[in-house]
Chains A and B, each alone.
Chain A
Amino acid sequence: MIRKYLNIWNLILLTALVVLFLSVVYPLFSIFRASFLSSETEQFSLENYGKIFRLPFYLRCLRNSLWVSSLATILSLIIGIPFGFFISRFHLPGKPLIKTLATLPLILPTFIGAEAWLLLLGRNGWITNLFHSVGIGLPTIYGWKGIVLVFTLQFYPYVFLMLSASINSIDKSLEESARNLGGGPWYVFRTVTLPIVTPALVAGAMVVFYLSIENFGVPVLIGEDFKVLSVQAYNEFISEMGGNPSMAGALSMVLLFITLLITVGQKYWVERKSYAMSSLRPPEITKLKPLGTFFVWFFCASLVFLSLFPFFVVIVSSFTKTQGPVMYFGQFSLKNLANALRVTPRPILNSFFLATAASLIGVIFGLAVSYLVVRRRGPVTFFLDMVIMLPLIIAGTVLGIALAVTYNKGTIVLTGTWMILVLAYFIRKVPFSIKTTSSILQQIDASIEEASINLGVPPLRSFMKVVVPVMLPGIAAGAIIMWVTTLAELSSTIVLYYGPWATMTVEIFQYMGSGDFGPASAYATILIVSVIIPLFILHRILGKDLTATL
């Protein structure tokens, strides 16, 4: 009986389960338990949850989180839906470029977007000062308005991407037959096209809502007194460091409950309503009259411009002369960049090292798990598949707090080492690697491997010799996505880093906090360049779009 189960893949399965238990399940359980401990007596108590749902301060955090996330979701739909339809259905000049640029905000760090809008519209912002000099006061960007602005401009591409993928999968004959049966264009749109794309829209909306509610960098930078759950959990945790993290734990649990609810709701609703379709003839692309084309093009182009302009501003700022929070726009200077690269390169190296370490581990782990999930279907691997996707619904702050709480004492002490950062990054980003590798593995027939085994090569070596080479493009894509998103990771880093292991994101965050826009922009520019170059290479060499993996 034992002999039947003793093989290399079951050994790997066991290892994967242990790793997941130690890095996800057990830490989550730890904060869950901590959230039920009284901060004074360390006894079981519901006082933390009592506070959250009774004290106005905490209730406001919860309300604030829901408010900005809902608003960002609605606005993303309002601009993402027309954008998606226009791009998929109309001839537009420069469409490939618009499409590529439109997806760029997805990989650019949101807190850099926040930084840029502060550079423009903050108290000392360029536009604010410009208007001030002619005597006009602008509405403030601080608080929920700024947060919603940044969220909407960075997350609407999800709505657009999912919508256009869904539109392109509708077989042309479907709409044709509806027309043939006597439906007018608007009637067909309402009764055929819209119901088919609705699941995609819901999925897109859920992603936007989730990303908004778990986000830490944007509200912490421009929220000021407007506190949201993720920020407050962090504040409680930092102020209680060394003490009892039970309040942070309870806030994390509330946040986790919301994100879990969204994911379950999405899975349930979207899967029930999805229509699987193999499109033989994609829908026709219409050519509008010149004036119509212009308006549609103008809408799309200005949206893309608006969402990328902040990053342009950051890059310009990094080449600008600064003194504390004062920017001398128009005066060129390499001082900040040179400083970052030559005097204090440690954060850059830290970021690169940590991202590389996490990606390497992630690639190997992702490969093994993908194989188990795709090829060795069974109750255990099904469970593995569920648990491995768990990090996707855990906010970065929550995961950070969970790991810090779990590994600050006991047999394994990791808190305060660089390894805990690698662990956090690895577990947070490995789902991306698994998604890319398992989708490509699904396309490789299992018989290729069996043929190799049949010819006398043992199972694991067969996999390495005949399957991995074919999977290389997908593996590379997964690795690059892991690497660039790790580089841009702020929320878990800010909880887990310590002095010498500050990353670029931490530096940007801290310089922003002290109003030093110059050094912040310099690191931000280096970060943007480090993120875009690998993606460009991915696009050129592998012909793979990042949109396929996110």
Chain B
Amino acid sequence: MRVRLEGITKKFGPLKAVDSVSLSIEGGEFFTLLGPSGCGKTTLLRLIAGFSIPDSGEILFGDQIINHLPPHKRETGMVFQNYALFPQLNVFGNVAYGLKARKMPREEIQSRAQEILEKVQLKDLAHRFPNQLSGGQQQRVALARALVIRPRVLLMDEPLSNLDAKLRINMRQEIRKIQRDLGITTLYVTHDQEEAMTISDRIAILNLGQIQQTGTPSEIYFHPENRFVAEFTGTSNLLEVNVLSYDLGKSLLHTEFKGHQMLIKYPQQPPSRALVIMLRPEWIKIVKDEKENRINLFQGRVVSVTFVGFMVKYQVKAFDDQLFTIDIQDPQGYEMKREGENLFFRFDVDRPVVIAS
């Protein structure tokens, strides 16, 4: 089922929780709304579930406008942040709840509940009550309960935020696998950028009720369209540079940053003289021999070194007072610099991303 939002606005008092949001989720797609708390992502999800009605704009399931369809007729399956399991019903009772509401014959309820419980690996716990289950198990019940009614859309509101880090990674893969098996259109809400990157087909990044960017995880990571997206989707080094000239033949921008020349690959005439460029920490290399390649080569002083295991994180100060974060991957056998030491670093001309001026 394709889900479309067209110019959705929802106000709470004077505050626009959702501000003219339009997006389209394709059938079978795993789509994530990513943003900081208070950005409107949960409000958007609840609008789709029907728990509130938009002030303007349209919500479409397929070609049907469902703005005023009451929530119990929307055929969406929602997984709540706190799971919202019915405490007085056991696992089977919880899973069968939606089927009973649809007045299905008893045998079909049995077989469908069995099938979904098997899928989420809870077959043996069907008679347990929610308070006898671990967090991960409750999560599976909530998922099974939402899936068993074969909803048109699966809606998930920060479903993993109450689990510990390890379990979260396991559940994330499991959810993804089940979603692929069933081919169900899924809208997922999270504030965790890593979670969003690993689980989604596409992501919409929200801030202050507005969509900042929509795209696949790699599009968003490698080509953020603005400062907010760049900073929210991972660590980024942002530099405000001035354009000196543009070489159309080589597609090269000559820019200047605090008196130092920087060369940046860019496909067209720059939109303005002042630009912001972004560099991910792992795009910058630390160079042993400063003579090897002098393009975009700069000197800095180590402010701090953090050994993470799979990488070493440097904070380096350069150009008087500009801090750079630089990640060195796979540091085995690598000779770490110490605080206060000087070093040279460089990046290739095709790495920097120009984000709006």
CB neighbors of A among B216-267 (8 A): none
Residue B33 lies at the interface, judged by CB distance under 8 Å to chain A:
no
Q: How far is B82's CA from A448's CA once the two chains are assembled, in angstroms?
A: 9
A455 lies within 8 A of B80 (CB): no
Which residue in B76, B84, B101 is a CB contact (below 8 Å) of A448?
B84
Chain A contacts of B73 at CB under 8 A? 456
Residue A439 lies at the interface, judged by CB distance under 8 Å to chain B:
no
B72 lies within 8 A of A462 (CB): yes
Chain B contacts of A445 at CB under 8 A? 82, 84
Decide if the interface of chain A is mainly helix, strand, loop or mixed. helix
A456 lies within 8 A of B51 (CB): no
Which residue in A453, A466, A469 is a CB contact (below 8 Å) of B72?
A453
CB of A324 to closest CB in B, whole Å: 58
B72 lies within 8 A of A454 (CB): yes
CB neighbors of B among A432-476 (8 A): 445, 447-448, 450-459, 462, 466, 469-470
Residue B215 lies at the interface, judged by CB distance under 8 Å to chain A:
no
A457 lies within 8 A of B72 (CB): yes
Residue A4 lies at the interface, judged by CB distance under 8 Å to chain B:
yes
Q: Could you tell me how many residues of chain A have their Cβ less than 8 Å away from some Cβ of chain B?
A: 19
Q: How far is B209's CA from A299's CA once the two chains are assembled, in angstroms?
A: 64
Which residue in B49, B68, B149 is a CB contact (below 8 Å) of A456?
B149
CB neighbors of A among B68-124 (8 A): 68, 70-78, 80-82, 84-88, 97-98, 101-102
B72 lies within 8 A of A459 (CB): yes
Q: How far is B87's CA from A448's CA once the two chains are assembled, in angstroms?
A: 9
A452 lies within 8 A of B80 (CB): no
CB of A527 to closest CB in B, whole Å: 36
Residue A540 lies at the interface, judged by CB distance under 8 Å to chain B:
no
CB of B52 to closest CB in A, whole Å: 11
Residue B8 lies at the interface, judged by CB distance under 8 Å to chain A:
no
A470 lies within 8 A of B84 (CB): no
Q: How far is B68's CA from A3's CA once the two chains are assembled, in angstroms?
A: 8
B53 lies within 8 A of A4 (CB): yes
Q: How far is B12's CA from A99's CA once the two chains are assembled, in angstroms?
A: 48
Decide yes or no: A455 and B84 within 8 Å by CB, A4-B53, A450-B51, A450-B78 being known contacts: no
Chain A contacts of B102 at CB under 8 A? 456
Q: How far is B53's CA from A3's CA once the two chains are assembled, in angstroms?
A: 11
Residue B145 lies at the interface, judged by CB distance under 8 Å to chain A:
yes
A455 lies within 8 A of B145 (CB): yes
CB of B263 to closest CB in A, whole Å: 54
A-B contact list, 21 entries, CB within 8 Å: A447-B80, A450-B51, A450-B78, A451-B85, A451-B86, A451-B145, A452-B97, A453-B72, A454-B74, A456-B72, A456-B73, A456-B75, A456-B98, A456-B101, A456-B102, A456-B149, A457-B72, A457-B97, A459-B70, A466-B86, A470-B87
Q: Which residues of B contact A (CB under 8 A)?
A: 49, 51, 53, 68, 70-78, 80-82, 84-88, 97-98, 101-102, 145-146, 149
* Given contact pairs A455-B145, A456-B149, A470-B88, a sample of 17 additional A-B residue pairs in the complex whose CB atoms are under 8 Å apart: A445-B82, A445-B84, A447-B82, A448-B86, A452-B86, A453-B72, A454-B49, A454-B71, A455-B77, A455-B101, A455-B149, A456-B73, A457-B97, A458-B70, A466-B88, A469-B88, A470-B87
